[in-house]
Each structure stands twice: as C-alpha cells, then as structure tokens.
Amino acid sequence: MPTRKIQVKLYFVASERPPLERFVPVLHTILRDDALGELMIDVVDYGHVHHGPGVVLIGHATDYGIDLGEGRPGVLVFRKREPVTGDRIADALGRALRFAALLARVPELGSALRTDEVLIRLPDRLHAPSTDAGFERLTAELSALGQRLYDAPVALERASSPRQPLSVRWRAPSSPTVEELLARLP
C-alpha cells in the first residue's frame, strides 16, 4: 500500500497507567534532551478531550503521544513521513517500541505496556482504503512481521468500518518485553 502515514498503538496494562499529567514534563524532557534523535517541535496537552489524543510530542516526521482513544490508554506513534529505507510498518513499530522503552526508564511513571496487542492504523483513505481488499493487503504485510517478532503467527482482525481509516488489531500468542521485540525487529 503506497501510504506513508502509519499509526501504531501499544496499550497500557489497565491497572498501571499513571495519571496523564505526569507525562507532560517527561515529554518536555524528551524534547529538550533530543532523546528520540529526530526533529521534535512541541508538547501539546489534549487531556481535556474525552477519549482524545491525550498528550502529544509533535515532531516533523513523527508524533509520539499518550493516546486515550477507544477508552483504552496507550502509547501512540504517528509516522507522518516515509522512512528513508526499510519496511515502513516495522519502522513505525520500532519507533513505538523505542518510545515505550524511554517511558519505561522514568521511575515516576511506573507504566507497563502490553506487547501482545497492537493497533496498526493507516489514516490515509485515498491510498489505504478501508475495504476488504485494503485489509487483505495490510494483513499480508503484518503477518510476516508478526511471525518474525513473535516466532508464531499473530491473529489479525479488522478494527475499522469502511467509514474509518483502515485499522488492524494484532493479537500475539505471547507478550515479550519491549526490549525483546526491539531486538527482533529487522
């Protein structure tokens, strides 16, 4: 699929998500210290929006945030530009995992993320239509990546209607650590 826009969401373990306001200074520190190694612009707090974007670290090519969508908080990475080389989905997932690893190093957050469930969304209905054909093309890409990361098939289910951006929820048979998944990425 010829889209460069990809979102990847990793969900917090339900009982372990810290209050949203704790993330604001952490994201400012990541911005100030250039911890992601890419051009970052600002931190925006959307905590007042019900089931909204939460807190977002806005970047030139990628946005990183704590998303409250679906009523299920998690880390959301929005890759807005095409990666220079390599698999675009693996690139977006790698960014999400590296961001999650950064957050895990902050003791006052104490947050834990699930790695057995991932939401992949392509918010570009022109190039990635939310149709059966679009779903089939995306799942073909995701199946191979999931097999490589979990050394087992992942279950893929459509998580969008035709009126929404194409979304696939992947459920893995195991829940390795963020670091283990990072080491297995191509």
Domain count, the chain: 1
73 part of a folded domain = yes
* Percentage of residues in the chain having pLDDT higher than 90: 70
Q: Is residue 172 part of a domain?
A: yes
**Cα distances (Å, whole numbers) of residue 107 to 29, 37, 48, 87, 111:** 14, 22, 25, 33, 9
Q: Would the pLDDT of 18 be above 90?
A: no
Residue 82 sits in which domain range? 6-184
Question: For residue 1, is it within any domain?
Answer: no
The answer as to whether 66 is a domain residue is yes
Helix intervals (H) in the chain:
23-32, 88-104, 132-150, 178-184
Q: Terminal CA-to-CA distance of the chain, rounded, Å?
A: 19
pTM over 0.75: yes
Model confidence pLDDT, tens digit, residues 101-132: 999 999 888 778 899 999 999 998 888 888 89
